């Protein structure tokens, strides 16, 4: 929305329009962070504070880089800085850190708000998957821009249920443009999946001034069903009379959000289909947090293809890719559904084994080693794996655990390859005597 555009909605004063926009923002699933042109934080809504663990006083005057940490991707930050210096707009994702040190994945957009002369007065950062929104210090233009840029669908009806406003997110989810639904009732989305009892309960809540939230099956403009988490909230005037209803819909069917497909692509290795290193680092962080909270350990396997460089140099990269994919298939076949198989880089792989003790981890590792040793690759012949196994410890760090399992892997290499070595005594669990 252009910041010079009037905030008035059809048939409403600017004051009532601002009231509706403010109320819409307060119940959005997104969070909002506002900085000045110097990138210093001038506002963070409660949803943002809940997400990060920082209070508003902690954030005011700070640079958002305070949220960065070891897993924050520098290339994304560099791209963001370059974009803000040119177009002023940016969208991307990386790892940030809460006040308590725990990492989280954030996806965000940054948009400039310009004054009448075109100068940048603010930057707005809108972030996903947050259930509440409150923006006390924002201007009407900031609220309007935040609502229109929201990933969630937002529409506003009058007290009679006639739609007066719908944002771009509504069009993305339902297929209906704002022009097609303004002046109509939400029944245009009706799928027929809910009976009269459901709607009686809905209106009983709303008529009493209470918000209503439920999973609702709507129908897309193209005819297919969309399963939405929908929140409907009454808006009252100063006299306590309900004047409008604000609805926020979140598509739970994953049919219309292309960014979810991009997220899947960004987290998986294109050759093997396994998690890539970046996603693996996140999984390792999460596993350590869960282990510490539950006072339970987990195990980590690190495996490397023996003499892979010689195979690549002799038989070419296509044959090397075939072997890498074979290892990935074996890892998926020999591990549990709850395990995380990761292509760590090149010919190196990691397997995260949650709620797994060392004996079970050694058994899984040996099954992987044996399955690979039994494989045959035409002229390349028999290819083997060396595997290191380590168990997490109290107050472990990702770096410390990775260093230990890496030591076991290289111990397996030094002892002759094609074997599993554990952290207990760095002696091989089992080996093929033919090597």
Annotated active-site positions, please? 347
CA distance 378 to 373: 14
From first CA to last CA, the distance across the chain in angstroms is 68
β-strand pairing of 419-422 with 385-391: parallel
Q: Where are the alpha helices (DSSP H) in 239-348?
A: 258-267, 277-294, 308-315, 317-334
Contacts of 261 (CB under 8 A, 6+ apart): none
β-strand pairing of 41-44 with 31-35: antiparallel
Locate tokens 């998926």: which residue? Answer: 332
User: How buried is residue 202: exposed, middle or buried, by Cβ count under 10 Å (0-12/13-18/19+)?
Assistant: middle
Contacts of 271 (CB under 8 A, 6+ apart): 321, 324, 325, 328, 343
CA atoms within 13 A on the CB side of 66: 16
Distance (Å) of CA 50 to CA 47, 59, 132, 149: 5, 12, 9, 21
The answer to whether the CB of 64 falls within 8 A of the CB of 80 is no
The answer to whether the CB of 383 falls within 8 A of the CB of 323 is yes
User: How buried is residue 207: exposed, middle or buried, by Cβ count under 10 Å (0-12/13-18/19+)?
Assistant: exposed
Closest CA to 39 of 109, 105, 124: 124
β-strand pairing of 348-353 with 299-305: antiparallel
The answer to whether the CB of 124 falls within 8 A of the CB of 141 is no
Distance (Å) of CA 329 to CA 238, 324, 380, 417: 64, 9, 18, 21
Locate tokens 């009379």: which residue? Answer: 241
Helix axes 277-294 and 258-267, enclosed angle (nearest 10): 90
Cα 277 to its chain centre, rounded Å, is: 16
């Amino acid at each position: 929305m252009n910041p010079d555009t009037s905030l008035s909605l059809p048939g409403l004063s600017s004051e009532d329009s601002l009231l509706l926009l403010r109320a819409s923002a307060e119940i959005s699933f997104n969070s909002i962070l506002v900085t000045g042109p110097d990138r210093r934080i001038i506002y963070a809504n409660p949803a943002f504070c809940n997400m990060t663990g920082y209070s508003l006083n902690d954030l005011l005057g700070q640079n958002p880089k305070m949220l960065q940490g070891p897993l924050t991707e520098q290339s994304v930050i560099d791209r963001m800085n370059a974009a803000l210096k040119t177009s002023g707009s940016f969208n991307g994702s990386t790892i940030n850190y809460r006040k308590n040190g725990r990492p989280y994945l954030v996806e965000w957009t940054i948009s400039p708000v310009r004054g009448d002369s075109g100068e940048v007065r603010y930057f707005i950062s809108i972030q996903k998957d947050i259930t509440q929104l409150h923006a006390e210090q924002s201007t009407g233009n900031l609220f309007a821009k935040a609502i229109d840029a929201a990933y969630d669908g937002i529409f506003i009806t009058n007290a009679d249920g006639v739609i007066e406003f719908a944002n771009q997110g509504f069009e993305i989810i339902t297929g209906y443009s704002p022009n097609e639904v303004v002046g109509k009732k939400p029944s245009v989305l009706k799928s027929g999946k809910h009976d009269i009892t459901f709607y009686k309960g809905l209106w009983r809540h709303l008529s009493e001034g209470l918000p209503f939230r439920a999973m609702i099956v709507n129908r897309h403009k193209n005819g297919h069903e969309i399963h939405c988490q929908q929140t409907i909230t009454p808006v009252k005037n100063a006299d306590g009379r309900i004047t409008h209803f604000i609805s926020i819909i979140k598509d739970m069917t994953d049919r219309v959000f292309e960014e979810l497909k991009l997220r899947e692509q960004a987290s998986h290795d294109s050759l093997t289909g396994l998690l890539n290193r970046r996603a693996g680092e996140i999984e390792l962080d999460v596993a350590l947090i869960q282990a510490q909270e539950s006072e339970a350990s987990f195990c980590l396997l690190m495996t490397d293809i023996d003499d892979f460089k010689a195979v690549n140099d002799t038989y070419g990269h296509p044959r090397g890719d075939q072997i890498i994919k074979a290892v990935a298939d074996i890892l998926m076949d020999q591990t549990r559904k709850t395990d995380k198989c990761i292509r760590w880089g090149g010919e190196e792989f990691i397997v995260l084994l949650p709620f797994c003790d060392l004996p079970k981890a050694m058994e899984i590792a040996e099954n992987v080693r044996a399955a690979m040793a039994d494989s045959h690759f035409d002229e390349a012949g028999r290819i083997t794996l060396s595997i290191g196994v380590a168990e997490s410890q109290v107050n472990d760090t990702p770096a410390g655990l990775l260093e230990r399992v890496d030591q076991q892997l290289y111990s397996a290499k030094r002892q002759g390859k094609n074997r599993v070595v554990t952290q207990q005594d760095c002696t091989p669990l089992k080996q093929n005597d033919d090597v």
